[in-house]
Amino acid sequence: MTPLRPTILLNTALVVVFTYLWGLLHAESQLAVGALLLAVPAVLWALRRAGVAEPLAAAARVSPRLLGTGCVLGTLALVAALYDEHFALLLLSSVLLYTVVGLGLNLQFGYAGIVNFAGAAFFGIGSYTAATLATHTALPHLLVLLTGGVVAAVLGSMLIWPVLRTRGHYAALVTIAFGILFRNFLEVNDTLGGPQGLRIPGMTVFGWKLNDHIEIGDTEISFYVNYALLSLALCVAAFVFVRRVERSWLGLSMDMIRTDEVAAATFGVSIARGKVLAFTMGNFLAGLAGAVYGMMTSYVAPNNFTFGDSLILVSIVILGGIGNPWGLLPAAAIVLILPEKFQFIQEYRFLLYAVLVILILLFRPEGLLPRTVRQYFPGRRKGEAP
Amino acid sequence: MSAVLLQASGLTMRFGGVTALDALDLVVHEHEILGLLGPNGSGKTTFFNVITGIYAASAGTVQFAGHDLTRSSPQDVYRAGITRTFQRSRLSLPLTVFDNVAIGRTQQFHQGLIFNLLQRKALKLQFDETVGQVHTLLKTFSAGMAEKMWQPAGTLSMIDRRRVEVCRALVSNPRLVLLDEPSAGMTHDETRELMDDILMVRERLSPFTVVIIEHEMGVIQRITQRCVVLNYGKKIAEGSFDEITRHPEVQVAYLGQDAEVPL
């Protein structure tokens, strides 16, 4: 095969996927959404019949950089195409921010093996930190975002001791307890707005107000474009960060800790250090995403950070493929966009998640995009993985 | 006789009411291959687990090459130069053969955040060096192993998995290797092959000291210079293979009264 063909194949696939996403975000009638949804299994089936699925996967493996650049450009094109559609842009930004949280959970769950059922709580800590700091201090807003992540990581360290002392299900219970405590604390705490929550001022970066609509000539561009771009930047940075952790000795240590703690310790791996690193870095990412999300929606309340929301986050990681950062994007898109587009299932969204998780565990137990073996420096040697 | 490498004195391990090791005195000399024998439940694996810090001894001391390793963490024991294999394979099956062996070199890896995340060029140098070492070791073991370096360990056959475990124990050039029943789950011929590999690697690399737990007497007879027999956590016999098989207490422990140990 000439070296050009996989590239063309990959590019075509990217164009198709992003056009489809545009269609889905743009579509309003239930009929159109339904038709778009039914098209997916049909196209997947056709691809498999045509024998394109395998070369496509191979192309993505061989040129990861092209895939990354393609996704960034695709998202940019999507933002441009949806420039005046508030809701679609909000949805797109949410997908990107949830992916950031998913990347954090992936560090904890996918690599170090710590199941965190308090993801929404750490996301919420970021939002509340942003609300408090942006209202009461003159701290530059980019630093506010950063502080959101740091506060989430620091509060998360309260859990480190019990998480290190327990394993598996018991560690999961500790995080569930924390999530519930967090929400109850917010509901009774009047300084943080109680059940009504807090308003958050919009973000200002170097005098540029992100919550103002942009006008170019006669066309008005939704202010959500600002947040979509910010979310995209954050998502790319988090993605690169998590990838680098995986493709280093840290990732190797974390994988060993997850798969066999006794063997890891016997070969000198510090169990505590690996877990603390993964847990702290994961919570930092969740808090960071939460801070951006809060500033985008200008509002934060305890109801947004329930145990159910934490479950949604975990189901994104499982659906995407535990340990594979790429899987998070389609998973977050499915979990967030589908219920919004199908208004009538809104009431049943938890039912939908439950069914989704069961179906995944039955038919694709390793997720949509299962994790492949670690490549420390991919693409440098041909044929094999190193 | 060469210098003492490992000395366990009065080593005792109790689990509730069960005494798995009972005031055990055991000496391992530098460069020797010592066989550790005894019926099931006699405390052999417990001895390994206490030495490697997985269990904390209830009483007694462990001296290793001048260090006191009593109640040390597994990590400290590893850094002192002791590695091991496990009775039931403890490989990380989803990870590659390379990953599984490379973890044996943890000590040499920079674990710093900045190094791992930002200094990718320096990391690459360390990575390439490790790839070279792992590749050489796998190749020394058997030519076919090196080709499987980037496969998940779960795709390998039983004997290859054992080889990977032994490579993981050897890649850090340890002073003492503890082999816990390497023949478990393998056929006679496979065991012979694995033992030949281990002896050959030992000849080529360095004459590292070995303590081996094994139920196949043929293996013990062939490769050990000295044996220690445990029963109920106590040492009941010590000496060359021929000496211990003639030892009356050993015969009783293995087969009951009036029997001989089969060869």
Q: What is the largest CA-CA distance in chain A?
A: 68
- From the list A12, A103, A20, the residue with the least C-alpha distance to A341 is A20
Q: Are the beta carbons of B200 and B192 closer than 8 angstroms?
A: no
pLDDT value at position B213?
Answer: 93
Decide if pLDDT at A61 tops 80. no
Q: Å from A292 to nearest chain B CA?
A: 24
- From the list B29, B57, B77, the residue with the least C-alpha distance to B228 is B29
Which chain A residue has the Cα nearest residue B128?
A386
pLDDT value at position A383?
Answer: 41
Decide if pLDDT at B45 tops 70. yes
Inspect the interface and report whether the beta carbons of A373 and B150 lie closer than 8 Å. Answer: yes
Mind giving me the DSSP string for A270-320?
-HHHHHHHHHHHHHHHHHHHHHHHHHHHTEE-GGGG-HHHHHHHHHHHHHH
Range in A146-150, A161-165, A242-246, B166-170 the model is least confident about: A161-165
Average pLDDT over residues B30-44: 91
Q: For residue range A68-117, what is the model confidence (pLDDT) as tens digits?
A: 888 899 999 998 888 888 888 999 999 999 999 999 999 999 999 998 99
Question: In chain A, how many H helices and how many E strands?
Answer: 16, 6
Average pLDDT over residues B73-100: 93
Cβ neighbours of B83 in A, within 8 Å: 266-267
Q: Which of A39-53, A201-215, A316-330 has the highest mean pLDDT?
A: A316-330
Q: Which two tokens stand for residue A64?
A: 């990861």
Q: Sorting pLDDT into bands at 50, 70 and 90, what band is B257?
A: low
Which of B73, B75, B161 best probes binding to A when mutated, by most A CB atoms within 10 angstroms? B75
Q: How many CB atoms lie within 10 A of CB B125?
A: 11
Q: For residue range A177-195, what is the model confidence (pLDDT) as tens digits?
A: 999 999 899 888 888 888 8
Q: For residue range A272-307, what is the model confidence (pLDDT) as tens digits?
A: 999 999 999 999 999 999 999 999 998 888 888 888
Decide if pLDDT at A381 tops 70. no
pLDDT value at position A217?
Answer: 74
Q: Is A228 exposed, middle or buried (0-12, 13-18, 19+ CB in 10 A)?
A: buried
Q: Are the beta carbons of A248 and A256 closer than 8 angstroms?
A: no
Q: Which two tokens stand for residue A48?
A: 């498999």
Q: Using CA atoms, how far apart are residues A154 and B71, in angstroms rounded to an integer?
A: 32
Q: Using CA atoms, how far apart are residues A23 and A40, in angstroms rounded to an integer?
A: 13
- From the list B186, B182, B199, the residue with the least C-alpha distance to B33 is B199
Q: For residue range B224-247, what is the model confidence (pLDDT) as tens digits?
A: 999 999 988 899 989 998 888 888
Q: Sorting pLDDT into bands at 50, 70 and 90, what band is A382?
A: very low
Arithmetic mean of pLDDT over chain A: 86
ipTM: 0.91
Q: Sorting pLDDT into bands at 50, 70 and 90, what band is A385?
A: low
The SS3 call for residue B33 is strand
Q: Using CA atoms, how far apart are residues B150 and A373, in angstroms rounded to an integer?
A: 8
Sheet strand arrangement including B67-68: B18-29, B4-15, B59-64, B67-68
Q: Are the beta carbons of A224 and B71 closer than 8 angstroms?
A: no
| % of chain B at pLDDT higher than 90 | 55
Which of A111, A241, A245, A248 best probes binding to B when mutated, by most B CB atoms within 10 angstroms? A248
Decide if pLDDT at A2 tops 50. no
In this complex, the residue of A249, A371, A374 whose CB is nearest that of residue B111 is A249
> What is the count of residue pairs from A and B with beta carbons less than 8 Å apart?
108
Q: Sorting pLDDT into bands at 50, 70 and 90, what band is A379?
A: low
Average pLDDT over residues A347-376: 82
Inspect the interface and report whether the beta carbons of A249 and B109 lie closer than 8 Å. Answer: yes
Q: Which two tokens stand for residue A184?
A: 């109850």
| % of chain B at pLDDT higher than 70 | 96
Over B200-253, what HEC string results?
HHHHHCCCCEEEEECCCHHHHHHHCCEEEEEECCEEEEEECHHHHHHCHHHHHH
Inspect the interface and report whether the beta carbons of A268 and B78 lie closer than 8 Å. Answer: yes
pLDDT value at position B256?
Answer: 65
Return the exposure string of B1-34: e unless at least 16 CB atoms fall within 10 Å of the residue's CB, then b.
eeeebbbbeebbbeeeeebbbbebebbbbbbbbb
Cβ neighbours of B74 in A, within 8 Å: 262, 265-266, 268
Arithmetic mean of pLDDT over chain B: 89
Cβ neighbours of B110 in A, within 8 Å: 249
Inspect the interface and report whether the beta carbons of A273 and B52 lie closer than 8 Å. Answer: no
Q: Which two tokens stand for residue B179?
A: 């082999």
Q: For residue range A4-31, what is the model confidence (pLDDT) as tens digits?
A: 577 788 888 888 888 888 888 888 777 8
Element (H, E) at A199: strand A198-199
